[in-house]
Amino acid sequence: MPTTSSTSGPSTRERMRRAPVETGLGMVPDPASTAERIRLRAPITDGVRTDGGRLLPVLPALLADSGIGDLVFSTAKLVAGAPTVDLRLDLTGVPAPGARWLTADLTLLHLDDEIGIGRAEMYDDTGVPVAHAVVTMALTGVPDRPGGLASGGAAVDAGSGGGPDDDTDFRSELPPFDPARLVPDNLESDGDDALFTPGPSTVNLNGTTHGAVLTGIGAAAQARHLADPTARPLALTVDFLRPVQVDAPLRVRTETVRDGRRFWTLRTELLLPDGRPAVRVTGGGIRGAA
């Protein structure tokens, strides 16, 4: 396996400074990050906590997806991001009431010419384990410049420069992402379905919608579907089937797979305007937990 480089260097800071989702959620390299122990962190604010003190899944999903993406990006010496294939997130604990930061220890598990796989172990600044994730990314079809996967979407029109030799980061002038959009009560609805148009502030290095935001909208739709404050999510499995352009209106449809007295399982699909599923989120959890 190739030796990983530290994510605390200037190049990583520069990439984060230009990234609207990372900026909106405050993700930064952890001061304790080294070449041997690579860490990122993000603040635990009221805006990413539920009424019960749990975290909106978008925050651990961001640290995992963006952090492992940076490991793959740096180690494989890519010029733009690698598309995420799947993300498996275990929500292991609730942050302490006074916790201020969520920190992720990142490990690159595998890298070859086609895929990169990484693990993120996340805990708050009081030592409480909060989440664990494994992310798989595809190196085949990696764009040749920032925004190279987008086609006809708002991100390209907003300034990728238009040519394959142009390395301009089109995200530089975009507003930061507002995580309040992923609070279940804030979702736009149409009957039993949720509606969500990502918008330019959700863009990733490929010019498409950030995987953490897609994970977050799936989790929010499931919380809305359950409508039970005692329902505690324990795990999410997210399959990214097709890229989502930031200007594509999504229909978010959730169905019950299991509805027991204590345990539940839901399946959510994020549907493109033509009806094809772009993302599939399977979530499970327990009822009656504080």
CB of 149 closer than 8 Å to CB of 114: no
φ and ψ of 110, to 5 deg: -160, 145
The pLDDT value recorded for residue 12 is: 60
Asked if 156 and 170 count as a contact pair (C-beta separation under 8 A), the reply is yes
User: Do residues 150 and 160 make contact, with C-beta atoms less than 8 angstroms apart?
Assistant: yes
pTM of the predicted model as reported, rounded to 2 decimal places: 0.89
Q: Are strands 84-91 and 232-240 parallel, antiparallel or unpaired?
A: antiparallel
195 token code pair: 């509606």
pLDDT digits (tens, 9 = 90+) for 156-200: 444 444 444 455 667 778 899 999 999 999 999 999 999 999 999
CB 73 within 8 A of CB 16: no
- Cα 135 to Cα 238: distance, rounded to the nearest angstrom: 10
DSSP H or E run through 58: helix 58-76
Mapped onto helix, strand or coil, the DSSP state of residue 76 is helix
* Mean pLDDT value of segment 32-37: 81
> Under a CB-based contact definition with an 8 Å cutoff, are residues 264 and 256 in contact?
yes
Task: Give the whole-angstrom CA distance, residue 63 versus residue 264.
Answer: 26
**pLDDT tens digits, one per residue of 107-164:** 999 999 999 999 999 999 999 999 999 999 999 988 888 888 875 444 444 444 444 4
Q: Give the model confidence (pLDDT) of 67-83 as tens digits.
A: 999 999 989 999 888 99
Asked if residues 129 and 91 have their Cβ atoms less than 8 Å apart, the reply is no
Report the SS3 class of residue 181: helix
Domains observed in the chain: 10-153+175-286 (2.40.160.210)
Which two three-digit tokens encode residue 50? 């539920």
Mean pLDDT of 243-248: 96
Token pair listed for 153: 């979407």
